[in-house]
């Protein structure tokens, strides 16, 4: 199979690709996109690790701006309920990347609101169990699914400790260029990977949360000591969900 050779390009492969691209540009070959911004032609590398801090103290009850924004950004709102599907079941069958959850402490009764999505683990169980390697972790820490080799076995969904993944149960008519989607494959939050590759420094959910004035979601580079994310993590006590599994998640929660 062809996909094997380029799954994790080494530095040389990356350089040669970059060089080829540069040559192509210089030669003035017909190219719609004159890529001024570097990110589009650079391979993701492990000098960064993308992650988020979710400050649940700022997350408002009843607000689902992040969910709505995610749905719009990734075309999840374009999913149509198949004719004849039951409402209740369909709500559990359609793809959703972020879910709002409210939990109450059994002892103190304190209520906490938070968005729950793929935690982008350093050691993702979904990647371990995937028989074909379709579920994988990019060099920059983003966990995502290569739909081209996903066979739809759903073992990753069995293995995910956060129930973050969705199986596409229906034929998908409408989809966005930036988020391909089709029946029979699994998908989940990809930290707006198209934004990463286009050099946009935020996610749809973080933007929406900020626009609401809550700023509960902070996105950034966990490896950059000067990033607002790392600064915030230094300042505020936070933790990982299911810390017992030692997955070293990329998404951290404060106040849970």
Partner 1 sequence: MANALVRGCLISASLAWALSAQAAGGSFVVPGSKAASEKSCVEPTAFMRRNHMEVIEHQRDETVHSGIRATKHSLAGCIQCHVSRDSNGTPIPVDRPDQFCGACHRYMAVRPDCFGCHATVPTSAALPRQPQGETN
Partner 2 sequence: MKRIVYREWKLAPQRYWGLLAILGIIAAIGGLASWYMEHHGHWVTGMTNQVIWGTPHVFAVFLIVAASGALNIASIGTVFGRKIYQPLGRLSSLLAVALLIGGLLVLVLDLGRPDRLIVAMTTYNFRSIFAWNIFLYTGFILLVIAYLASMMDRKLRCYYKPFGFFAFIWRLILTTGTGSIFGFIVARQAYDTAILAPLFIAMSFLYGLAIFLLVLLFAADQDQRPVGQAILNRLKNLLGIFAATVLFFVLIYFITKLYKAKNYELVYFYLLGGGHYTLIFWLGWILLGLLAPLGMVFHPVLGQERRWIVTASFLVILGGLASIYVIIIGGQAFPMSIFPGKTVLTSDFYGSIAAYAPSLPELLLGIGGFATALLITAVGIRVLQFLPESLADEEIDPHFSVKT
Contacts of 132 (CB under 8 A, 6+ apart): 149, 150, 151
17 binds partner 1 (CB under 8 A): yes
Nearer to partner 1, 126 or 233 (CB): 126
Choose the stretch contacting partner 1; rule: CB under 8 A; options: 31-39, 107-115, 230-238, 242-250: 31-39
Rg value, the chain, Cα? 19
Q: Which sign, positive or negative, has the C-alpha torsion 11, 13, 18, 22?
A: positive
Could you give the CA distance from residue 187 to residue 167 in angstroms, rounded to a whole number? 6
Partner touching 256 among partner 2, partner 1, none, CB below 5 to 8 Å by kind: partner 2
Give the span between the Cα atoms of 217 and 232, in whole angstroms: 11
Q: How far is the CB of 229 from partner 1 (least distance, A)?
A: 20
Rounded Cα gap, residues 77 and 174, in angstroms: 10
For residue 119, the minimal CB distance to partner 1 (Å) is 20
Q: Residue with structure tokens 């997955």?
A: 247
Show contacts with partner 2 in window 109-148 (CB under 8 A).
111-112, 116, 125, 127-133
The residue whose two tokens read 């106040």 is 255
140 binds partner 1 (CB under 8 A): yes
215 in Cβ contact with 85 (< 8 Å): no
DSSP type of residue 60? P
Q: In sequence order, what are the beta bridge partners of 137?
A: 143
Instruction: Give the nearer residue to partner 1 in terms of CB position, either 147 or 169.
Output: 147
Burial tier of 146 (Cβ tally within 10 Å: 0-12, 13-18, 19+): middle
Considering the complex, state which of residue 40 and residue 239 has its C-beta at the smaller distance from partner 2: 239
Helix H, strand E, coil C: the string for 130-157 is CCCCCEEECCCCCEEECCCCCCCCCHHH
Closer by beta carbon to partner 1, 117 or else 145 = 145
Binds partner 1 (CB under 8 A): choice among 146, 155, 169, 248: 146
Q: Which is nearer to partner 1, 146 or 212 (CB)?
A: 146
> Which of the choices partner 1, partner 2, none does residue 151 contact, using the CB cut-off of 5 to 8 A by kind?
partner 2
Question: Which range binds partner 1 by CB under 8 A, 85-93, 131-139, 223-231, 243-251?
Answer: 131-139
95 phi/psi in degrees, rounded to 5: -75, 135
Whole-number Å distance between alpha carbons of 104 and 197: 38
The residues of the shown chain that bind partner 2, judged by CB under 8 A, are 1, 3-4, 82, 85, 88-93, 95-96, 99-107, 111-112, 116, 125, 127-133, 149-155, 157-163, 165-171, 183-186, 241-242, 245, 256
The residues of the shown chain that bind partner 1, judged by CB under 8 A, are 2-3, 6-9, 14, 17, 20-21, 24, 29-33, 35, 39-44, 72-75, 136, 138-140, 144, 146-148, 172, 175-178, 180-185, 193-198, 200, 204
């Amino acid at each position: 199979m062809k996909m094997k050779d380029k799954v994790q390009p080494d530095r040389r492969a990356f350089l040669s690709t970059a060089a080829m691209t540069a040559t192509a540009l210089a030669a003035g070959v017909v190219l719609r996109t004159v890529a001024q911004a570097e990110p589009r032609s650079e391979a993701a590398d492990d000098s960064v690790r993308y992650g988020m801090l979710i400050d649940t103290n700022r997350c408002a009850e009843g607000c689902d701006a992040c969910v709505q924004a995610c749905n719009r950004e990734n075309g999840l709102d374009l999913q149509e309920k198949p004719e004849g599907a039951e409402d209740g079941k369909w709500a559990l069958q359609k793809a959703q990347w972020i879910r709002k959850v409210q939990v109450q402490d059994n002892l103190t009764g304190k209520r906490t609101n938070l968005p729950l999505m793929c935690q982008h683990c350093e050691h993702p169980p979904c990647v371990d169990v995937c028989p074909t390697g379709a579920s994988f972790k990019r060099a920059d820490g983003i966990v995502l699914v290569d739909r081209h080799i996903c066979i739809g076995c759903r073992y990753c969904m069995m293995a995910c400790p956060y129930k973050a993944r969705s199986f596409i149960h229906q034929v998908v008519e409408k989809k966005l260029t930036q988020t391909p989607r089709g029946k029979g494959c699994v998908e989940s939050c990809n930290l707006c990977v198209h934004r990463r590759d286009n050099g946009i420094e935020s996610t749809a959910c973080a933007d929406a949360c900020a626009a609401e004035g809550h700023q509960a979601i902070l996105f950034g580079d966990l490896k950059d000591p000067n990033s607002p994310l790392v600064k915030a993590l230094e300042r505020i006590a936070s933790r990982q969900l299911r810390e017992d599994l030692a997955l070293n998640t990329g998404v951290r929660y404060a106040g849970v």
